[in-house]
Amino acid sequence: MLSNKPLFLAAAASLITTAVTAQQPALADATATSAIANLCGQMSGMPGCSINTACNTMPGTIPDPFCKPVSVLGDICAMDMPTMSACSGYNAACNTTTTTTSGGGGSGGGGGSAMSMCAAPITSLPTSKIATQRIRSICTEMNMPGCEETCAAKIMAGNAASSYAECDLLGAYAGLCKSMPGMSQCGEWMAMCAATPALGYCKADASVDPPEMKMFFHTGFTDYVLFQNWVPRTGLQYFGTWIAIFVFAILYEGWNAALLTAEARLLAATSAQNNNRKIGSFITKPAAGKPISTSPSTTTTTTSQSKHIARFQRAALRFVAKSVTVAAAYVLMLVAMTFNVGLFFAVVVGLGLGSAMFSEWSRAAVTAAVLNETTVTEELCC
């Protein structure tokens, strides 16, 4: 029994130390809050300051216990900027550890474990330097949405000191990685989110966050559609987008049919003019006693000029028509390349229905031109 007395006393001392530590925090909340205000007043862009702002202005975005003042201060002093003067209190109090002893008795006790005296900061929170480097690397590699915002723009301009002082580095970095989480530069963001998935910087919010760029067929409402500000985020907005694309695809087929019809009618008109010119070129026999009249050379010159002018006008119209056709075709192609299944079928179904609606119209016009008819008499549908 006596041989177990030192072990018993050591265990009792450990329990007493733990109880006292739990009742008396190593760093008071008021002290931590004052230090946070000092630090963030100097450089508000530090990730720890972004966490503090989110805790104060957006309740629920940062889970417990990471909104406790000592934990937020640890985000700055333990993870990011330990050498700043306002971190001296944290370093003195929270870098102190208590050691619990276990194993063989006596004064030469065996192994032990260190127990932190302060609330732990967020695991794997990126530092200001890392966030700045990753933002610059992402926006250099790809000028994606988010790179034009103030914070990223300052970083791309090379003003690191200004970005530390004024930017929301963590928000900018997380926003870019939410758009394309597969980028190699998002490793620190993924590590942070793997350790603390409930962070607001990890969860995508379809109502405000930029859409994730998925280069494969997928479903869902939120995608960029042609423009940065055209992002359907609700079912009603998505339905309106689908209808707009569907109607545009139908109109595209109608436009092509109208061009083909116009070309056919122009061909018929040109053919008729050529026939009339051939008929008028025959010289009729003059009346008795009257000399044979000849056409002056000016008539031939005028006719040639008119033909060149008409040809130029037709070429100009074809240029405009082709430009519009190509632009519309690429618009539909870009919509299909969102890889959104619903929008892809809006393009396909619209083109199919448009072709069914207008193909008979254009075919009838071409048939009339080939047969040298002046009007289209064929039924346009059915």
pLDDT digits (tens, 9 = 90+) for 169-221: 888 888 888 877 778 888 899 999 998 888 888 876 655 666 667 777 888 77
Place of tokens 């479903």: 219
Number of C-beta neighbours around residue 307 at 10 A: 11
Pick from 181, 182, 183: nearest CA to 137:
183
In contact, 71 and 121? CB cutoff 8 Å: yes
Closest by CA to 249, choosing from 319, 323, 334, is 334
3-state secondary structure of 56: helix
Instruction: Measure the N-to-C terminal CA separation of the chain; round to a whole number of Å.
Output: 106
Dist CA 190 CA 239 (whole Å): 33
Using DSSP's 3-state secondary structure scheme, residue 225 falls into strand
1 pLDDT higher than 80: no
Q: What is the DSSP letter of 86?
A: G
Residue type for 115, please? M
Domain limits of the chain? 24-96+121-205, 214-271+310-382
Does residue 93 have a pLDDT over 70? yes
pTM for the structure as a whole: 0.55
The pLDDT, as a whole number, for residue 91 is: 87
If one compares 378 and 168, the residue with the highest pLDDT of the two is 168
Query: Count of alpha carbons within 13 Å of 213, Cβ hemisphere only?
Result: 14
* Mean predicted lDDT score pLDDT of the chain: 74
Return the structure tokens found at 13: 């001392």
CA diameter of the chain: 160
